[in-house]
Structure formats: C-alpha cells, structure tokens
A and B are shown apart, each in its own frame.
Chain A
Amino acid sequence: MSQITGSEAVIKSLVAEGVHTIFGYPGGAIMPIYDALYDYSDKVTHILVRHEQGAIHAAQGFARTSETCGVCFATSGPGATNLITGLADAMIDSTPVVCITGQVASHLLGTDAFQETDVIGISMPVTKWNVQVKRAQDIPAALAKAFFIARSGRPGPVLVDITKDAQFGMMDFNYEACKDIRSYFPNPVMDPTKIDDAAVLLNTAKKPYILIGQGITLANAEQELLEFVEKSGIPVASTLLGLGAFPPNHPQYVGYLGMHGNYAPNILTNEADVILAVGMRFDDRVTGDVSRYAKQAKIIHIDIDFAELNKIVTNEVSIHADAKEALALLTTKVERRTHESWIQEFRDAEKLEVEAVIEDAIHPKHDRLQMAEVVNMLSEKTDGQAIVVTDVGQHQMITSRYYQYKAQNTNITSGGLGTMGFALPAAIGAKLGNPSKTVVAIIGDGGFQMTIQELGTILQFKIDIKILILNNNFLGMVRQWQELFFEKRYSFTDIVNPNFTQIAKGYDIEALKIDQRTELSEALDTMLSSQAAYLLEVVVEQEENVFPMVATGASVSEIRLN
C-alpha cells in the first residue's frame, strides 16, 4: 500500500466515520488538511463560515438535530481560541462535536511561534477529551478515539490538535474505529435492584412526579418514556433542553420547569412525594434555592453520568444507567395506575397562570406586539413541527414557553452556557443536517449582532433558514432584571440597532420588517412559504417582562406570576 500524508489521513478518517459535512475556516497551520480536502469534495461538503465560533455552533446545531457528530476545522492560534465558547457550550449541553485544529510544527511548540497558542491547555476545561498529535501515523487512532469519546456515554466535545509537520508527514493509512478505551466506561451496567427500589417508591407514592431532561433525547428514549408515563399515570414536566422529548399536548404533560417555566410544575415540585428525574441535572435554573427544593420528596435519579448523581440533590435511589434501558425495565416493574386528582392539582395551578399570564401574552390588549403572540402564532402555523433554534434571553424563554415542540430533536438552544450569538450559526447547522425540514431561528436584536457575520455563510451556501428577529431595542433579559432587582437602573441595556432588513438585503436575503399586529399573520406566512432564506424583523413591546419567574435565591414554590 502506498503511503499518504497525515492530512489525507485526516480526511479519510472522517469519511470512514461517515462525516459528510464539515464547518470550518482555513488558516496557515491547517492548510495541508485543506489541501487534502480539495480532492474529496465529492464525499465531503465543507461549509466556509465567517468566524470559527460560527463553525462550532453550526456543528452543534448539526449534531443536535441529526443525531450525529458535528465536525469543525480551525487553524492554530486565533482560529482555535475562537472555538472556545462553542466548546464550553457543547460541553455543558452534552453535544458531540469533534474539532480539528491545526498547530504550528512540532519543533516550534512552546516557542511563541506565529499563531501558536496552547490550545490543549486552553480547551482542557471545556472538552470531554483533547489530544495533540505530532506524528502522521498517530492521526487515524486519535480521530477514532475522538469520535468514540464524543458520541458515547454522556456526549461532549473533543478537540484534536494536529501539528503542521504531522499533516505533511507520510504514513500507511489503516482506519480502525475505536470501540473501547480501558480507562473509560461510557455504558454503565445498570443495577436492576435499584430499578426494583425505584418501582417500590413509585408504586406506593401518592404524588409521584417525573422530571425529564435532554438525557431522554440523547438516549433516544422518547418511546420508552411515553410507555412508562402512560403505564404509571404519573405527570411529567420538562427542563429547557428536555422540550421536544415528550408530546406537549399529552394529558399527563404538565409543563416546563425552571426560572421562567410554567407555574404548576414549579410550585408543585414542593408537593410531590416521589420525584423521578431522568436525564436532567438539577441545574440552578431548575431548582431555585436548592435548600428549599423538593425537600419533602424522595428523589430517584437516572443519569448516564455518575458525577451527576447526588451532585446537587441527595437521592433516595440513584440509578447510573442509560435512560432508554432504565425506563424500559422500570416500565415492567411499575403498576398501571392513574393519578387524576394529583394531575388535577396541576391543571388548577395552570389555570392561575393562564389567567394571569398566558391569556394576556398570546391575545394581548396592548398596542405593541408581544413576543409571546409571535411565537404562539409561529407554533400554530408550523404545527409545532419546525426545528426552532433560539438564542439567549427573553425571546428564548418566551419561545420555550410558547412554542409547542411536537417533534423530536427540534428544540435547539444554548441552555447551560447561555451563549448569545448561538442561534444563527446553529440554525445553519440544523438546516444542513435536515434539508427537508423548516428551520426557524428566533433571535433577539442583541444576540443577532453577535454572530451576524454568518449571514455571509447563508448567502454563499444558499441555506434556507428563516430568521425571526424579535426586536425590542433592548438587551431585554438584563433590562428585565434591572427593572425588577436594580431599581430600573437601565445600565447599558438600551441598544441602537442597524437596519436589519437592509443588512439582510446586502446578503441577498429577502427581508421584511413589521410592527403591527395586523401584519403578523401574513408576514409569518410569507416567511414560512419562502423558498430561500428569509429574515423577518418583528418590532415588539420594548419593556415586556417574562413571567412567571423564580427569582434568584427564591424557592420554586415562590414563583411569581407578575
């Protein structure tokens, strides 16, 4: 067999892993890899982003909607450091992404060479694993390990840093997928006695309650969850990233948990006697003051990541397992029951929220358009089937509250890290992973400008995404907090915006701006029926607040309706 370069080995390894889309940006230290890529354009599509942060968010959007691994390329130095925000985002939201960065030649390492940075050191806290490769012959094994680690267990981002001499070096190519690492145990062996313990608690509970998170989606356990829920009769609530894992119109679905979630699922957390948490991690945005969170309840926690068990709350039963496997077995052990009066408590509490918040939000009497009515109408027009990518802030919370995610893998948002600028590039990735689906990016006027350069990527690759800007001319979420907790001292949250539609037109993207309720329905129809990328700017109420709200330091039972 004839020898090939390390660079070609990179591309051949990616092809062997089934990669067909790469998001990246070339530069000096990764040029040999780009040169090798040139010969593989029939097998691999490279999407040239406009900034490396865009590359990794796009890879995240791709990974989260297509259940595969996202891949991105960046050069050394600034190219690599521009990936860091995305790595941190993928780390905290458990997204499988493989980043390949070029590095200066190995003899220059540690010498402050041009565009040299210690990307291994910098990325260490925000990667599940990272490695530097200095010899061509080590490339296939490093990449095989990278894909295995990124995808298995609790998924996460990995980074492979390849020196320029390794890219140029010659080697015999032989690719073997990685199936096992001796120090790594991604598939926990479930202890069936724990499932028995859990079943006993659930079968004797008066007010059992299920909390689901993204772990359901990551484990592909939607069907097992549905079967378990229907047999056990227990009400279900979801975290932000869990939305989409359970049908929102199901009679046992009681809503969205957390700081800006629904009233009933928050307040009744402190009434449940047994809580079954699956694939969620008791984030502080879900628990509020943890010392006053579900103290009366016995908690059963199923998670694939051992470090999440007993991390925030103390469990009665900890089940270290894959959610799919655990739920399937648990279904066989629970009794078929109904919990009508308990679910009625949720419905009664929900009425309070409908009256105090929801009715006014989706059928407002205000003159100015409200974010909620826009999202609600979008949800109806798309029947909850679109892939909806959100950025971070008020529009994000409003979307999680009012978009009915009826399909799986359609809720893409930056949950754990709260990265403004996430939505536009993530939507690009989501569309490339799902060419036949409608992808709507809902973005605030602030976040849009953080990665606005990716309009160029949309232009170049003709990516048909719908950009819905909810423009309140404020950094709205911070403004809301300033109003509620900082005596309305609006310190640097009013933002002067450019003409978004004109900018879109500069990128050949059709655009429309509206500010009247009467225009909304038609504008959404036009956006959704457009056959190409489209930008709709909706000017909304300037000082709209997102309620309900569990203020920082408050208990979930102190959730405010206004």
Chain B
Amino acid sequence: MENNTYNISVFTENSVGMLNRITIIFTRRNINIESITASESEIEGIHRYTIVVNEPKETVRKVISQIEKQIDVVKAFYHSDDEVVYQEIALYKLPTKALASGGDAERIVRAHHARILTIESEFTILEKTGYPDEIKELFTELKPFGLLEFVRSGRVAISKPMKTLEEHLEDMNNEKIIL
C-alpha cells in the first residue's frame, strides 16, 4: 500500500472548538496525526493549521473534503513533502559545565547552525531549526554532554505553488456572486 507523508493546511475562522472539529475527522478514520501546529495566518481573523499525516493520497483527499465541509473552515489544501518548504524547531537544555569543559561543543554548535539562546550558570539552551532528521542528529551528538531536556515543535509548512489563500477566497466569492 502506498504510504506517503502529506502536509495538510487548513484555514479556519478563529472560533472556539475548531481544532476539535478538525481532529474528529481524523479520529473517525483512525488516522494518526504525526504533528499539528496552529497559528494566525496572513489574513486577519483566519487561523492556519498545519497537520502532517502518513496516509495514502486517496484517503487524504477524502479527509480534505470532509474538513472543507465544516462550516467555519475557509479552505483546506494538501501537499506532498516536495511541494512544500517546511521546518521544525527544537530546543536543547544542557548543563553549562558539560559544554564548557569539552572542546567539541563549539564545533557541534557551529556545524549544526544551532543558536545559543541563553547561558545560565547551571544550564545552557540551544535552538535548532531544520528538518526532523537534522534535529535528531544534533540530539544524538548532544546526548553525551548530559542533555537535560529536549523539545521539538510540530512542523510548519508553506506550499510552493504561488496561488495565495486570498486569491482562492476571491475565486470562491466570485462564484457566490454568480448566484
């Protein structure tokens, strides 16, 4: 069976319970959500969800139709990984002592283009943005330093096709006016 990663972008009104309404659609079909993020979009009052799933394209297409059917959903899209630019962010908390004692720490931070967010006497927090495997790689390298905490965000993704949401909305509204 074909099994691909799809990036689903959902644009909704900012109403209470929207996230629940959307996730129910995945739950009903027993689809595991690999990652989900929510934020404001470029249009005021419209929220944007980025949902990553591993499912056949046909399933994703049907899920998209059911998501779009929700009253407060403005538009939903799905894209394969090569049709989007995506990033994740991770934070790593390490004992400052461990970083300061070894000579390797600086090399690792530079090699991975990680940023140091804060240095306290007891701990240091590094930040890394990138693909999941890059984040994982840095995690593996930092582990020997006595990694105290690690957290990774869900994926954010922007599609490569140039049509904007506003253009889609305009098209849809033009259709409304015809009626």
Contacts and interface: CB of A to CB of B under 8 A. Distances in A.
Interface of A: 120-121, 124-125, 128-132, 149, 180-185, 187, 189, 305-307, 309-311
A185 B73 contact: no
B107 interface: no
Given A183-B74, A185-B175, A187-B179, A307 B69 contact: yes
Contacts of B172: 185
B176 A185 contact: yes
Nearest to B23: A124
B13 A180 contact: no
Given A124-B21, A306-B65, 5 more contacts: A121-B17, A182-B173, A185-B175, A189-B175, A311-B62
Contacts of A180: 176
B163 interface: no
B127 interface: no
Interface string B37-77: 00000000000000000000000011001101101111000
Contact of A182 (B15, B28, B74, B175): B74
Nearest to B17: A120
B66 A307 contact: yes
Contacts of A185: 172, 175-176
A124 B21 CA distance: 6
A305 B69 contact: yes
B7 interface: no
16 contacts: A120-B17, A124-B20, A129-B72, A130-B17, A132-B16, A149-B71, A180-B176, A182-B74, A182-B169, A183-B12, A183-B13, A184-B72, A187-B179, A189-B175, A189-B179, A306-B69
A307 B68 contact: yes
Interface residues of B, number: 26
A307 B64 CA distance: 8
Nearest to A189: B175
B178 interface: yes
A131 B169 CA distance: 24
Contacts of A311: 62, 65
A131 B74 CA distance: 17
A125 B24 contact: yes
A181 B72 CA distance: 9
B13 to A, nearest CB: 6
Contacts of A182: 13, 74, 169, 173
A103 B65 CA distance: 32
Contacts of B62: 307, 310-311
Given A189-B175, A307-B66, A307-B68, A183 B21 contact: no
Interface string B164-179: 0000010011011011
B175 A306 contact: no
B72 A183 contact: yes
Contacts of B178: 189
Nearest to B64: A307
Contacts, number: 53
A128 B16 contact: no
B65 A184 contact: no
Given A124-B20, A311-B65, A184 B71 contact: yes
Nearest to B72: A183
A128 B70 CA distance: 7
Nearest to A314: B58
Contact of B68 (A130, A149, A181, A306): A306
Contacts of B72: 129, 183-184
Nearest to B177: A189
Contacts of B66: 307
B56 to A, nearest CB: 14
A125 B176 CA distance: 27
Contacts of A131: 15
Per CB-CB distance, the 3 closest pairs between chain A and chain B, nearest first, are A307-B65, A189-B175, A183-B74
A128 B17 CA distance: 13
A124 B24 contact: yes
Nearest to B73: A183
A124 B28 CA distance: 12
Contacts of B169: 182
A108 B136 CA distance: 45
A180 to B, nearest CB: 7
A309 to B, nearest CB: 8
Contacts of A181: 71
Contacts of A120: 16-17
Contact of B28 (A125, A129, A149, A184): A125
Interface string B1-20: 00000000000110111001
A52 B131 CA distance: 53
Interface in B122-144: none
Interface string B91-109: 0000000000000000000
Contacts of A132: 16
Nearest to B45: A182
Nearest to A158: B71
A133 to B, nearest CB: 11
A129 B72 CA distance: 9
A163 B152 CA distance: 39
A525 B94 CA distance: 88
Nearest to B67: A307
B44 to A, nearest CB: 12
A128 B169 CA distance: 22
Contacts of B16: 120, 132
B71 A128 contact: yes
Nearest to A148: B71
Nearest to B25: A125
Contacts of B13: 182-183
Contacts of A183: 12-13, 71-74
Given A183-B72, A305-B69, A311-B65, A124 B176 contact: no
A99 to B, nearest CB: 16
A121 B24 CA distance: 10
Contacts of B68: 306-307
A182 B61 CA distance: 23
Nearest to A132: B16
Contacts of B69: 305-307
Q: Which of B24, B71, B178 has the most CB of A within 10 A?
A: B71
B161 to A, nearest CB: 21
A129 to B, nearest CB: 4
A539 B135 CA distance: 73
A437 B72 CA distance: 39
B104 to A, nearest CB: 50
B40 to A, nearest CB: 16
A126 to B, nearest CB: 10
Contacts of A309: 65
A171 to B, nearest CB: 21
Contacts of B173: 182
Contacts of A306: 65, 68-69
